[in-house]
C-alpha cells in the first residue's frame, strides 16, 4: 500500500535519481557500493564526472557544487537528488542557492542525505517549502543494517509501513505525545546556521538531533548555544538520535549523556523527549521526512507520518 504525504512524491518504477557531491569528496569504492545497492532495488542512479572533482576537503569549489545541484533540480527527468557524502561544504552553497530560490521552488525535488546535508534540508524546507528525506548518503548505504536498508527503499516507494519509524531500544526521557513539522539533523551543522539569514525556525516543531565524534563538553556547548538562541523555547517535542564518540573503546568521560542534552536544552518537563532513536552515523540510520507533519509517541516508541 502506498501512502501520500503533502510535498512528498514516491519514486516511479526505475525512477531517475541524480547523485550530487554537495560537500566533501568521497571514497569511490563506497560510492560504487551505493550505486550497486540502488540498482539492485530498481532505482536508476545517474551522475557525471563532475561529481568526482576534489579541491582539498571539498568536492570542487562552491560555485561548481551549487551549479551541479541547480542543474539536478532543473532536470525534468530527475525525481530525487541523493547526496554522495556529507563532510563539510554545504554551508558555502546557501548564498548561491538563495539567489535561485524561485527557480528551485518551481522544480521541487526530494533531497536525500544526512550529516552536512542537514544544512540543505533546512534551506529547502525553510526557504523553498519542500519536503526532504533525512537518510543515508550514497557512500554510507553499504554500512547500514538490513532494517535501515529495507526502510529507505520502502519509503522511496511510498509504502505505508516505512512512514512509521520505531525501535524497541528507544528510551523515553520525558513522556507524552506531540504533533508538529519535523525538522533538525546534525547538531553542529544546525548550529552553524545560527545568526545567518538561513537560521531554522523550530517553533511548534518536533526536532530530531544527532551527532558523531564530539565529546560531551562540545555537545554541551552546541546544545547550550541552540538554547541561548531560543531554538528550544517553543518546540513540540525532541528526539535524540545517535550521539556516539567514534573511538573503539571510549572512556566514560567521552560518552555523551543524553540527559545532559535535555538539561542543557532547557525544555519544559511536559515536552515529550525520546532518545536512542535509530538515526545517526552508525549502521542504524532510518530515513524520515523533514518538512512534513508527524506524531511522536513516547509510549509507542515511534515517529509516524
Instruction: Provide the annotated active-site residues.
Output: 115, 210, 281
CA dist 181 and 159 (Å) reads 20
Find out whether 118 and 184 touch, Cβ atoms under 8 Å.
Answer: yes
Here the cell at position 239 is: 528526539
Least Cα distance to 44 among 5, 3, 75, 4 occurs for 75
CA dist 219 and 7 (Å) reads 33
* Phi, psi (rounded to 5 degrees) for 15: -60, 145
User: How many residues does this entry show for the chain?
Assistant: 305
Strands (E), 43-144: 44-46, 78-83, 110-113, 132-134
C-alpha pair distances (Å), 253 with each of 10, 137, 139, 216, 249? 44, 30, 31, 7, 11
Place of cell 571539498: 58
CA dist 105 and 74 (Å) reads 10
C-alpha pair distances (Å), 251 with each of 114, 261, 273? 27, 19, 26
CA dist 21 and 61 (Å) reads 11
C-alpha pair distances (Å), 96 with each of 61, 267, 298? 12, 35, 40
55 membership: H or E segment, kind and range: none
Amino acid at each position: 500500500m502506498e501512502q501520500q504525504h503533502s510535498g512528498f512524491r514516491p519514486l516511479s518504477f526505475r525512477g531517475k535519481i541524480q547523485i550530487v557531491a554537495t560537500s566533501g569528496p568521497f571514497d569511490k569504492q563506497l560510492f560504487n557500493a551505493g550505486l550497486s545497492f540502488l540498482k539492485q532495488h530498481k532505482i536508476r542512479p545517474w551522475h557525471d564526472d563532475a561529481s568526482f572533482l576534489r579541491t582539498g576537503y571539498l568536492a570542487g569549489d562552491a560555485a561548481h557544487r551549487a551549479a551541479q545541484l541547480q542543474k539536478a533540480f532543473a532536470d525534468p527527468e530527475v525525481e530525487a537528488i541523493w547526496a554522495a557524502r556529507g563532510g563539510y561544504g554545504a554551508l558555502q552553497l546557501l548564498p548561491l542557492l538563495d539567489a535561485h530560490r524561485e527557480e528551485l521552488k518551481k522544480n521541487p525535488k526530494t533531497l536525500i542525505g544526512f550529516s552536512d546535508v542537514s544544512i540543505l534540508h533546512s534551506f529547502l524546507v525553510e526557504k523553498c517549502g519542500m519536503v526532504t528525506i533525512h537518510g543515508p548518503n550514497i557512500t554510507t548505504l553499504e554500512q547500514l543494517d538490513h532494517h535501515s536498508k529495507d526502510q529507505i527503499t520502502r519509503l522511496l516507494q511510498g509504502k505505508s509501513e516505512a512512514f512509521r519509524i520505531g525501535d524497541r531500544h528507544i528510551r523515553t526521557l520525558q513522556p507524552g505525545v506531540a504533533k508538529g513539522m519535523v525538522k533538525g539533523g546534525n547538531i553542529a551543522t544546525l548550529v552553524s546556521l545560527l545568526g545567518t539569514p538561513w537560521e531554522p525556525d523550530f517553533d511548534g516543531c518536533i526536532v530530531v538531533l544527532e551527532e558523531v565524534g564530539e565529546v560531551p563538553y562540545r555537545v554541551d556547548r552546541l546544545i547550550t548555544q541552540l538554547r541561548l538562541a531560543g531554538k528550544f523555547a517553543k518546540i513540540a517535542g525532541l528526539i535524540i538520535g545517535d550521539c556516539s564518540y567514534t573511538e573503539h573503546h571510549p572512556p566514560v568521560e567521552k560518552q555523551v549523556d543524553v540527559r545532559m542534552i535535555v538539561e542543557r536544552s532547557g525544555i519544559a518537563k511536559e515536552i515529550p523527549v525520546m532518545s536512542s532513536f535509530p538515526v545517526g552515523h552508525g549502521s542504524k540510520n532510518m530515513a524520515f521526512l523533514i518538512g512534513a507533519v508527524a506524531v511522536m509517541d513516547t509510549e509507542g516508541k515511534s515517529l509516524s507520518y
